[in-house]
Structure 1
């Protein structure tokens, strides 16, 4: 997040609508991965149309959709990019205007949460604004109390998905800035009434918002300390503040319960009780829910049955929590008298809705039973208005049916609403879509969606977005997706400026990729990921990486996917890029793998450039899947290594170079790296010995170099691992010295302390040139080592340009 790469290469590039896809490289014609020369993108480059007579009947070229940034957000992004690069920021009034515009837009569209990345950018610019003096910069305008309060409201009221550390920091900075300004006004002697008028008389409201933020974002312990400080500063007026203190303490208790802090929760309730905070329904709900959701039977019963202050009715949510608790723990019998007492208390309609849900979930009542209960509820009572069922009642019944996973029962409850002449509301339709989706009734879901489109009910604050996301994911998941319907729905949502969930974007993009609809992938990413947090972007990015690694997908489609990944997600982590590189190596496309490595090498962010381990992985990949004698990709990677001042040459790096050059039919060059190793302070490793012997096997007259190295090993009396010994046998066999190889294998016990194995015979056989030598070696091996040779025979043989070879794998590692 602290890299300007995210802002500069994603958001600003999207706004400029730069090129989006690279052509799939081929063996016939390739460009250098790190070339600075601009190249056209033939796959999706916008070209100037030619004016011809027949051209007037052609469709206009597809125009890519621009990202839908919230007003002011571009200013936050631009400032972050400049600050990260230590560049001079824009004028303060421009930054202030953008920050204020973004905050007040969020305040207006309060159903859109401030996501973690937006919170980080807002915090970063706010620090700059509060640290700079507007008068010094020739600007008299500054952040007002209403600006700070609006930002605090936006931060506190709607928790986002993902991490909230920056929300907590932002809330603290905003509240402290408000308090600091009030304190400065007091220090210069301004009257309290004037201060109260200046800040809008909302000091307790500000504190409540601050506590809300603390308790929502993991700072409940600090919230408890702040509350204690708040009470101490206002001890002289504690009696008048008690109603507000009740609210504050409820926030603290709810936060501690959310964080699972049982000990602190009980301690804080004890303090609240001593301060004369009563056991009100909200507190009863918090304590009951805390233990009920953890299936703590004794504690749940204790806190639920504890008398509520002034015999107030327990909250509907508390009743629903104990209903679910009873179902999970077999406590239906304990629950029976509780609900009988609730029914006999002549409750209001909200509690009747809970009673109906209890009847369906616990008592297994059907539609006729509920109908009778509604008649009882609605029976006229002289001198008293009785509750009547409404759309909320039908919603409650449908929710109970959904919890029972019974869509047929849900449909019957919907019919009951029609029978009772209850007009459904948007939430009813949304619930209907939900359970029909669970039942795979797509035609039924589409019928409800059409009603929503036609405006039969009013949808507020995008309340239908969760189920529409679920609908889109379900449509994408069927064996034969209706792409036309999917595009119609996404177009409707685009007109509403709605942002889809990351899971939905993943489903859409994977579908479009499978159908080669790259433009639709680009539109989807442009419209939605631009406003995502880094965590949400990572969710989409990981899906693209996994698609690229799926061996069932064609190489051409994978390259298109990678091109999109590279353009839209420049923050892709190095380990993910290495996985992609290795994926192309596994597809036997070392050219594509090296393009990916080159893109990593060209990153402006040093943290995303390849490390020594990544160079080694790339060179080892070229060793497993060589290009051949031309070795263009190998030269490319080697040149990158030469110019990379952040990577130091060591034995492991030289080993990797030996592997790559030996595999790419340049064993002479590989042997030269052996000389670099022997002249270095670190010296060779056992891996170096195995690799150089393999290079000698491939080099004409390489046995001469191999014998010299072997003599040094023997003089130093080193312990020789099996892979080094069989590599030496291969080096001698590669020059056709059959008798010497046989002598080496026969004398193994005395020279290295162990006998031959499958690889000893297999490597020697594969290295021998000519069919005659191979036949002689096979005859000897069958006679002296029949068991080992039988194992080798099971591996099978293949014909190569260098003769018959066994199917054994020599996986060279640096």
Structure 2
């Protein structure tokens, strides 16, 4: 059978791997690789950034009509932030301010421009009233910090203008709308209280107070919300019971349907009737709490108020979700779509059914019924009405096929998706899920996996840590180590992502099904790509190679730690290395570790570490060297412990004529009142037996119980 190599596109920074791959003959661990790493991600973009970059047109150039205006903002920024050059004349700044505002009229100004306009206002001071009002109108629907700061500044300037009657109702509505949406409802309340009773029209005042109540409702501030409502109810202002909607929304969000029903009844009794948003909040709460009895009552009323209510897209989405949850069949859904179409014909501003409606219907059905949802039957509604399937449709179909574990159907949906236009900044969530699905199949179609991954790269999609882990597992199991390098160096990973990948690679190395050669190749990549690998993780890998009988690899991992900045061996690393050396009886490896210990200035060896060193020398056939270390232990402040004594007794028995030294040591300890343990007895008896002194050994063994020590299995 022809071997297959899984090849991924070679993208990203150049990366040089200096390691012996598993097919190299003969196999031997390589010297430490040269560490090269991918370029770091760009620094985060903060809110209070300078705008001097706005006059660089290499990316996203603004319209020609305001290009000159943005350059002027950049010049001001360079002067204010970097003290470069001199600021433009005030007349130029005012003209630039007005030009940018007028160019963005009817839309939301971007954060960079908001920051620049704020700096112009602070530098110049006086600006035309209408330009400041327009600036407020193009920023009040934003939510960034700079947008809020500019809106506050414009409103403050309009309010403090020496011209009488500068503020109009629209200005107050806009600032309250923004403040209540951005978590500043307390400030919005102050503005509403200041201008209460001073509005030109009652409707504007109702809108302002409605926004204030909505803000406190979205923040979950029940106390202030109720206090504000009570104040409005006691005021001379003619109340609109629709202002109860924020209270209904608050209690629906909390799942407190009894209190929501109380406020709902209050609106009904006022004969004004709830708003569509109130109905929507109640129905969503009934869905989440499974209160189908009251929900059905509300739904019937909701659909029956066709003359009064303005049912937007969100309202219809909730209607479809409700009926699908209650098990509505295809005929009922078609009936609701017909109703939606008739209402759109009667009122032009109402939404009519389109492909977006069908997509939302499919999404709701999948959420309710899961893999058992009759996707194709409901999709046929779009065909019968002449709606063209779009990218979202194929994404939903792809998701549904994956849920059904229908790999063939999922690949067919993916081919349809590829035929659609892929927008810039495409998230590719469903495609990444398809990639994970394919990687988890028992039989891998590597060519298809390669193709999908290439498509994601072509679309500029970062595959994320979950998909990366699935793809990495596939590559490792296929021993495609060069492709692993290309994959890891292309993706810019977060610290969390790096920790996930490191854990996955260590799991593969530690697996019993992984060959020693493949484990070594994977470690080499891990060492070169991820210097973040901790000392404990490196120690675990080192011990693994020692356990596999490859002391050469274990020592190389140990040497890599010594060469890695801020990842030098700790005491427990030395102990683990010496234990591994002892298991493999590798004298050359022992010399490497011992020499490293002598040169390590981080700490002084303690008794436990010296015990490990003694054990290693005994295991490597140098008991006399172990006894030299024993003498060093005796001279330390900490002194020997039970393990030290047992090792020393064992070492003595292995030295020619060394049994006499063991007997002397035993007698010295007994005379000093040392409390022997079962391990001490076992070590001494073993030393006597090794020198064929059976009678004395038996005598020592019989003395144990008299000393209050129970014999163990080793004895």
Q: What TM-score does the superposition give when structure 1 sets the normalisation length?
A: 0.65
In structure 2, the residue matched to 1:60 is none
In structure 2, the residue matched to 1:682 is 638
Residue 250, structure 1, aligned to residue 213, structure 2: no
In the TM superposition, what are the counterparts of 1:458-473 in structure 2 within 5 Å? 458-463=421-426, 465-473=428-436
The C-alpha deviation readout for 1:169-217, integer Å capped at 9, x for no partner, is xx9xx999989968974xxxx4332999899957994996445999xxx
Residue 345, structure 1, aligned to residue 305, structure 2: yes
Q: Assess if the C-alpha contact under 8 Å between 2:136 and 2:151 holds in 1.
A: no
Q: Once the 2 structures are TM-superposed, how far is the Cα of residue 564 of structure 1 from its aligned partner?
A: 1.4
Q: Once the 2 structures are TM-superposed, how far is the Cα of residue 544 of structure 1 from its aligned partner?
A: 1.2
Q: Once the 2 structures are TM-superposed, how far is the Cα of residue 358 of structure 1 from its aligned partner?
A: 0.7
The C-alpha deviation readout for 1:663-695, integer Å capped at 9, x for no partner, is 223222222111111111111122222222233
Mapped to 1, the partners of 2:506 and 2:547 lie a distance apart of 15
Mapped to 1, the partners of 2:42 and 2:617 lie a distance apart of 50
Residue 568, structure 1, aligned to residue 529, structure 2: yes
The C-alpha deviation readout for 1:636-662, integer Å capped at 9, x for no partner, is 222222221112222122112112222
Q: Once the 2 structures are TM-superposed, how far is the Cα of residue 577 of structure 1 from its aligned partner?
A: 1.6
Mapped to 2, the partners of 1:31 and 1:546 lie a distance apart of 20
In the TM superposition, what are the counterparts of 1:117-136 in structure 2 within 5 Å? 134-135=82-83
Q: Once the 2 structures are TM-superposed, how far is the Cα of residue 488 of structure 1 from its aligned partner?
A: 0.7
Residue 540, structure 1, aligned to residue 471, structure 2: no
In structure 1, the residue matched to 2:541 is 580
Mapped to 2, the partners of 1:103 and 1:556 lie a distance apart of 52
The answer to which of 586-595 and 670-679 deviates more is 586-595
Mapped to 2, the partners of 1:731 and 1:179 lie a distance apart of 89
In structure 1, the residue matched to 2:125 is 191
Q: Once the 2 structures are TM-superposed, how far is the Cα of residue 547 of structure 1 from its aligned partner?
A: 1.4
The answer to which of 721-730 and 675-684 deviates more is 721-730
SS of residue paired to 2:476: helix
Residue 495, structure 1, aligned to residue 458, structure 2: yes
Q: Assess if the C-alpha contact under 8 Å between 2:578 and 2:612 holds in 1.
A: yes
Q: Assess if the C-alpha contact under 8 Å between 1:284 and 1:314 holds in 2.
A: no
Distance 1:33 1:676, change over 3 A: farther
Residue 402, structure 1, aligned to residue 366, structure 2: yes
The C-alpha deviation readout for 1:598-647, integer Å capped at 9, x for no partner, is 2111112x2x2222222222222333x22x3x522222222222221112
Mapped to 1, the partners of 2:414 and 2:61 lie a distance apart of 29
Distance 1:283 1:585, change over 3 A: farther
Count of residue pairs the alignment pairs up: 618
Mapped to 1, the partners of 2:117 and 2:80 lie a distance apart of 18
Distance 1:211 1:667, change over 3 A: same
In the TM superposition, what are the counterparts of 1:136-175 in structure 2 within 5 Å? none
The answer to which of 585-594 and 317-326 deviates more is 317-326
Q: Once the 2 structures are TM-superposed, how far is the Cα of residue 471 of structure 1 from its aligned partner?
A: 0.1
Distance 1:593 1:450, change over 3 A: same
Distance 1:250 1:348, change over 3 A: closer
Mapped to 1, the partners of 2:57 and 2:463 lie a distance apart of 21
Residue 388, structure 1, aligned to residue 352, structure 2: yes
In structure 2, the residue matched to 1:514 is 477
Residue 555, structure 1, aligned to residue 516, structure 2: yes
In structure 1, the residue matched to 2:211 is none
Residue 712, structure 1, aligned to residue 663, structure 2: no
Q: Once the 2 structures are TM-superposed, how far is the Cα of residue 436 of structure 1 from its aligned partner?
A: 0.5
Q: Once the 2 structures are TM-superposed, how far is the Cα of residue 253 of structure 1 from its aligned partner?
A: 8.1
In structure 2, the residue matched to 1:617 is 576
Mapped to 1, the partners of 2:705 and 2:57 lie a distance apart of 80
In the TM superposition, what are the counterparts of 1:687-702 in structure 2 within 5 Å? 687-702=643-658
SS of residue paired to 1:252: coil
Mapped to 1, the partners of 2:117 and 2:482 lie a distance apart of 51
In structure 2, the residue matched to 1:753 is 708
SS of residue paired to 2:127: helix
SS of residue paired to 2:461: coil
Q: Assess if the C-alpha contact under 8 Å between 1:475 and 1:486 holds in 2.
A: yes
Distance 1:473 1:134, change over 3 A: same
In structure 1, the residue matched to 2:393 is 428
Distance 1:32 1:533, change over 3 A: closer
In structure 1, the residue matched to 2:202 is none
In structure 2, which of residues 329, 334, 337 is the aligned counterpart of residue 371 of structure 1?
A: 334
Q: Once the 2 structures are TM-superposed, how far is the Cα of residue 722 of structure 1 from its aligned partner?
A: 1.9
The C-alpha deviation readout for 1:316-355, integer Å capped at 9, x for no partner, is 974664254133xxx1112111211221123344422321
Mapped to 2, the partners of 1:723 and 1:527 lie a distance apart of 55
Mapped to 1, the partners of 2:591 and 2:356 lie a distance apart of 71
Residue 653, structure 1, aligned to residue 609, structure 2: yes
Mapped to 2, the partners of 1:179 and 1:715 lie a distance apart of 90
In structure 2, which of residues 250, 254, 257 is the aligned counterpart of residue 291 of structure 1?
A: 254
Q: Assess if the C-alpha contact under 8 Å between 2:51 and 2:116 holds in 1.
A: no
The answer to which of 498-507 and 344-353 deviates more is 344-353
Mapped to 2, the partners of 1:271 and 1:106 lie a distance apart of 48
In the TM superposition, what are the counterparts of 1:412-491 in structure 2 within 5 Å? 412-455=377-420, 458-463=421-426, 465-491=428-454
Mapped to 2, the partners of 1:324 and 1:374 lie a distance apart of 21
Distance 1:335 1:759, change over 3 A: same
In structure 1, which of residues 590, 599, 611 is the aligned counterpart of residue 551 of structure 2?
A: 590
In structure 2, the residue matched to 1:58 is none
Q: Assess if the C-alpha contact under 8 Å between 2:12 and 2:490 holds in 1.
A: no
Q: Once the 2 structures are TM-superposed, how far is the Cα of residue 510 of structure 1 from its aligned partner?
A: 0.8
Mapped to 2, the partners of 1:132 and 1:667 lie a distance apart of 75
Distance 1:341 1:522, change over 3 A: same
Q: Once the 2 structures are TM-superposed, how far is the Cα of residue 725 of structure 1 from its aligned partner?
A: 2.3
Q: Assess if the C-alpha contact under 8 Å between 1:253 and 1:269 holds in 2.
A: no
SS of residue paired to 1:537: helix
Q: Assess if the C-alpha contact under 8 Å between 2:562 and 2:569 holds in 1.
A: yes
Q: Assess if the C-alpha contact under 8 Å between 1:356 and 1:397 holds in 2.
A: yes
Q: Assess if the C-alpha contact under 8 Å between 1:391 and 1:423 holds in 2.
A: yes
SS of residue paired to 1:192: coil
In structure 1, the residue matched to 2:208 is none
Distance 1:243 1:74, change over 3 A: closer
Mapped to 2, the partners of 1:686 and 1:543 lie a distance apart of 40
Q: Assess if the C-alpha contact under 8 Å between 2:249 and 2:278 holds in 1.
A: no
Q: Once the 2 structures are TM-superposed, how far is the Cα of residue 409 of structure 1 from its aligned partner?
A: 1.5
The C-alpha deviation readout for 1:459-505, integer Å capped at 9, x for no partner, is 43555611011000000000011000000111111112221011111
In the TM superposition, what are the counterparts of 1:664-679 in structure 2 within 5 Å? 664-679=620-635
CA RMSD after TM alignment: 4.9
Q: Once the 2 structures are TM-superposed, how far is the Cα of residue 315 of structure 1 from its aligned partner?
A: 7.0
Mapped to 2, the partners of 1:534 and 1:364 lie a distance apart of 45
Mapped to 1, the partners of 2:688 and 2:80 lie a distance apart of 76
The C-alpha deviation readout for 1:692-717, integer Å capped at 9, x for no partner, is 22333444434233223222221221
SS of residue paired to 1:712: helix
Mapped to 2, the partners of 1:462 and 1:516 lie a distance apart of 32
Mapped to 1, the partners of 2:682 and 2:450 lie a distance apart of 61
Q: Assess if the C-alpha contact under 8 Å between 1:288 and 1:304 holds in 2.
A: no
Distance 1:381 1:23, change over 3 A: closer
Mapped to 2, the partners of 1:538 and 1:703 lie a distance apart of 53
Mapped to 2, the partners of 1:97 and 1:231 lie a distance apart of 23
